[in-house]
Amino acid sequence: MYFDMWSPVGHYTFNSIHLKALSQHGDVYTIFKEGYYKYDFPHVYHYLDVPEKFYKKGEGYYKSRLRLAGMLRWVWKRISKEKWDHIILASYDPLALYLSGKFKNAIVIDHNTIGLLDSKTLGFPLRRLSRRVKHIVFNNYMKTRLEMFGVDDVSIVPHGFTPIIRKEMTIDDERQMKNKFSLNTADKVIFLPSLSLSTIDVVGQFIYNDDFNDFLKVHGLKLITKSPVKRESKSNIIIIEGYLTQEEYDYLFLKSTCIVLFYSQDFKYRSSGVLNECFANQIPCVFSDCPSLKAYLPYINNEHCVFQDTKGLKDSILSVLKTDCKNYFMHLEEIGDPQKAWKRILGNMN
> What is the Cα Rg of the chain in Å?
22
Q: How many domains does the chain have?
A: 2
Range of the domain at 329: 171-333
If asked whether residues 341 and 329 sit together in one domain, one would say: no
Strands (E), the chain: 2-4, 28-33, 44-50, 88-91, 107-109, 134-137, 154-156, 188-191, 221-226, 237-240, 256-261, 285-288, 306-307
Q: Any idea what the CATH number is for the domain that residue 304 is in?
A: 3.40.50.12580
Instruction: Answer yes or no: do 148 and 233 share one domain.
Output: no
State yes or no: pLDDT of 196 exceeds 70. Answer: no
- Express each pLDDT in 96-153 by its tens digit: 999 999 999 999 999 999 999 999 999 999 999 998 999 999 999 999 999 999 999 9
* Listed residue (230, 262, 227, 241) closest to 181, CA to CA: 241
Amino acid at 227: S
Q: Which pTM was predicted?
A: 0.93
Q: Within this chain, do residues 211 and 309 fall inside the same structural domain, yes or no?
A: yes
In-domain check, residue 87:
yes
Q: Does a structural domain hold residue 92?
A: yes
Q: Are residues 288 and 222 in the same domain?
A: yes
Is residue 166 in a domain? Answer: no
Give the largest Cα separation in the chain, rounded: 66
The amino acid sitting at 350 is: N
Q: Is the dihedral of CA 248, 111, 37, 161 positive or negative?
A: positive
Average pLDDT of span 213-220? 97
Are 258 and 140 found together in one domain? no
**What per-residue confidence (pLDDT) applies to 199?**
67
Same domain, 206 and 248: yes
The string of pLDDT tens digits covering residues 150-178 is 999 999 999 999 999 888 889 999 999 99
Domain co-membership, 210 together with 79: no
- Residues 74, 56, single domain; the answer is yes
- What are 122-125's contacts with CB under 8 Å, separation 24+? 122/94, 122/95, 123/149, 125/94, 125/95, 125/97, 125/98, 125/99
Contacts of 170 (CB under 8 A, 6+ apart): none
More confident residue, 80 or 118: 118
Report d(CA 308, CA 310) in Å as an integer: 7
